[in-house]
Amino acid sequence: MLHIDADALDRAFDETALADSPGAMFRDGCEQPVRHHHAMEVPGEPDATLLLMPAWQPGESVGIKVASVFPGANSRGLPAVQASYLLLDPHTGAPLALLDGARLTVRRTAAASALAARYLVRGDARRMVMVGAGALSQWLIRAHMAARPSLNHVSIWNHNGDKALAQAATLRAAGIPAEAAPDLEAAVRQADVVSCATLSRAPLVLGDWLQPGTHLDLVGAFTPEMRESDDRAMQCATVFVDTRAGATKEGGDIVQAVDSGAITHADIAADLHDLTRGNHPGRGSDREITVFKSVGAALEDLAAARLAYDRVSS
């Protein structure tokens, strides 16, 4: 059985192939039961959560991600979230590879946004704003720039301005034109693409800031209690999601906008299944505002894991 760590994953992946891979799986179909959430008591510390995300394509590929969230781990200098991915032989069930689940998750998450961007971002988009400077932000920036090579300027905003400055410097050293944005509203008002990857529980990007033709990519806020945009952003845009089942149950931006009456489930124009199968064309005009809300899908992990295994083992 192969062990594929974070560095090996980065060597195996390129942004284009990483977006192509889930695109084919969304188009062709994949079995992905609702993810399992199990609360676990940790004596003397906050409760932990165990998550299981299986997916399979009969005769093609089988895998499962095991993730854990132990809030108390931070006090020990360890990340609260840990994950591993087990890829199995689709004919025998024998283990093929164990992959670094944390790196796999951030790379496939960015790839889903890039896949959506192919349908939803204007072909002449130039300016991108990244809201958040965490582990996912650099991969979202790289993924969007690969999906739309016309992007030539990146602004990064973070509650902690020093983190935005540091992330911008890291990207510039890698040849990506990036700078820190001190004023989020001003940056968003000039943006063609706005990508958010935060744990915010209150709206950060307001609909009144979005200019005609903007694409808003909402990646954080993966529980119903979290939110990165306001009701107005949902109302003024054409709304797309990665999967309807996931986004309408777990994506706070969608759940709260529906609960308030700002939108209904019927206002979701399409998901990635629809877009990749040609059931919806995506962006309809250069002045249309689009929103893409993702919460993650097990098929995205499986697609990325299979791509990594094929390249590492060849």
List, for residues 46-89, the tens digit of each pLDDT value.
Answer: 899 899 999 999 999 999 999 998 888 878 988 888 999 999 99
Give the pLDDT of residue 80.
80
Average pLDDT, integer, range 159-172: 96
Residue 238: closest CA among 266, 258, 219, 198: 266
131 has which bridge partners? 157, 196
State if pTM tops 0.85.
Answer: yes
Domain annotation for the chain: domains and CATH numbers:
2-104+299-313 (3.30.1780.10), 121-297 (3.40.50.720)
Q: Which of 32-36, 84-88, 90-94, 223-227 has the lowest mean pLDDT?
A: 32-36
Question: Quick one: pLDDT at residue 71?
Answer: 83
- How far is residue 91's CA from residue 28's CA, in Å, rounded to a whole number? 19
Tens of pLDDT, residue by residue over 254-303, are: 999 999 999 999 999 999 999 999 999 999 999 999 999 999 999 999 99
pLDDT tops 90 at residue 208? yes
- The beta-strand segments (E) located in the chain are 2-4, 36-40, 48-57, 61-69, 81-88, 95-100, 127-131, 153-157, 178-180, 193-196, 215-218, 238-241, 268-271, 290-293
> For residue 34, what pLDDT is reported?
81
Rounded CA gap, 95 and 86, in Å? 7
Q: What digits encode the pLDDT tens for the residues 2-44?
A: 999 999 999 999 999 999 999 999 999 999 998 888 989 999 9
Using 50, 70 and 90 to split pLDDT, how confident is the model at 199?
confident
Q: Is the pLDDT reported for residue 192 higher than 90?
A: yes
